[in-house]
């Protein structure tokens, strides 16, 4: 699995801590992680609105399989990511959230509140969250006897979102403020991940065009 980590500007100082916790869990499981920003407070500025655009491009191009995002409360990033086609983002405060989201909703992104409850053991909570999010098989249901309706409902939810967002994906990006999209997609780490691993030529061509 390929996983992208992205954080908005107010939480950039915590990027190294989150990155280390994610790497400690992901690498032994054979997952590859891309830190696409912000990596520090001097990095190019990102808001939670930019995160939604970034996540959608990486997921819709199939450059990554999963996105870990976040902002101060986690709510802005959650709303921003879920605006976009092909993104199913859950809200995660603790390891139980991560486990239940993986088993019941089986989405492809998580939003974490990086400014809440940060004190002793914060890095442990992150590690335990990532263990529950990325270990084992997803979509197994909880409790197990509820698996069939939960799998069905997760599929229906994706179909409902696809039906409501009928516009072509790239057309929806072109409808946004070009400056907003350009800022979101100009990061060198994001572009490296996209151009190296993206499987949808139309998406990578769009990014080259708008960031030229």
Condensed to tens digits (0 to 9), the pLDDT of residues 58-67 reads: 999 999 999 9
Q: Is the pLDDT of residue 188 over 80?
A: yes
Q: Per-residue pLDDT tens for 71-95?
A: 999 999 999 999 999 999 999 999 9
My answer on whether omega of the bond before 38 falls inside 30° of 0, hence cis, is: yes
Residue 85 backbone phi and psi in degrees, to 5: -60, 145
Tell the burial category of 65 from Cβ atoms under 10 Å away from its Cβ (0-12, 13-18, 19+).
middle
Torsion (CA) 50, 203, 26, 73 in degrees, nearest 10 = 20
pLDDT band, residue 183 (cuts 50/70/90): very high
pLDDT of residue 97: 98
CATH number at residue 108: 3.40.1400.10
115-137 average pLDDT score:
91
Q: Is the pLDDT of residue 167 over 80?
A: no
pLDDT of residue 42: 79
pLDDT of residue 40: 83
Instruction: Provide the percentage of residues in the chain whose pLDDT is more than 70.
Output: 100
Contacts of residues 84-87 at CB distance under 8 Å and 24 or more positions apart, as own/partner, are: 84/52, 84/53, 84/55, 84/56, 84/60, 84/172, 85/56, 85/60, 85/161, 85/162, 85/165, 85/169, 85/172, 86/56, 86/59, 86/60, 86/169, 87/52, 87/55, 87/56, 87/59
Q: E-strand spans in 50-133?
A: 66-71, 89-91, 109-113
- How many folded domains does the chain comprise? 1
Q: E-strand spans in 17-98?
A: 32-35, 66-71, 89-91
Look up the domain containing 138 and give its range.
2-211
pLDDT of residue 119: 77
pLDDT band, residue 104 (cuts 50/70/90): very high
pLDDT of residue 85: 93
Q: Give all strands of the β-sheet with 89-91 in edge-to-edge order.
A: 32-35, 2-5, 66-71, 109-113, 89-91
Q: Which residues pair with 67 in a beta bridge?
A: 4, 109
Contacts of residues 196-200 at CB distance under 8 Å and 24 or more positions apart, as own/partner, are: 196/63, 197/2, 197/62, 197/63, 197/64, 198/58, 198/61, 198/62, 198/63, 199/61, 199/62, 199/63, 200/60, 200/61, 200/62
176-187 average pLDDT score:
96
């Amino acid at each position: 699995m390929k996983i992208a980590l992205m954080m908005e500007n107010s939480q950039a100082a915590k990027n190294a801590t989150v990155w280390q916790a994610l790497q400690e869990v992901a690498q032994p499981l054979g997952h590859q992680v891309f830190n696409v920003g912000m990596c520090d407070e001097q990095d190019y500025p990102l808001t939670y609105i930019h995160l939604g655009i970034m996540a959608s491009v990486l997921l819709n191009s199939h450059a990554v399989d999963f996105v870990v995002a976040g902002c101060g409360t986690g709510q802005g990033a959650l709303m921003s990511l879920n605006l976009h086609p092909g993104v199913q983002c859950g809200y995660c405060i603790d390891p139980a959230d991560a486990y239940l989201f993986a088993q019941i909703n089986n989405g492809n992104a998580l939003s974490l509140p990086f400014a809440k409850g940060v004190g002793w053991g914060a890095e442990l909570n992150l590690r335990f969250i990532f263990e529950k999010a990325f270990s084992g098989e997803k979509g197994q249901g909880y409790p197990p006897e509820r698996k069939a309706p939960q799998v069905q409902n997760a599929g229906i939810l994706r179909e409902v979102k696809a039906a409501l967002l009928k516009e072509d994906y790239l057309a929806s990006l072109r409808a946004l403020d070009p400056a907003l999209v350009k800022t979101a997609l100009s990061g060198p780490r994001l572009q490296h991940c996209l151009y190296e691993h993206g499987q949808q030529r139309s998406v990578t061509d769009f990014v080259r065009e708008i960031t030229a």
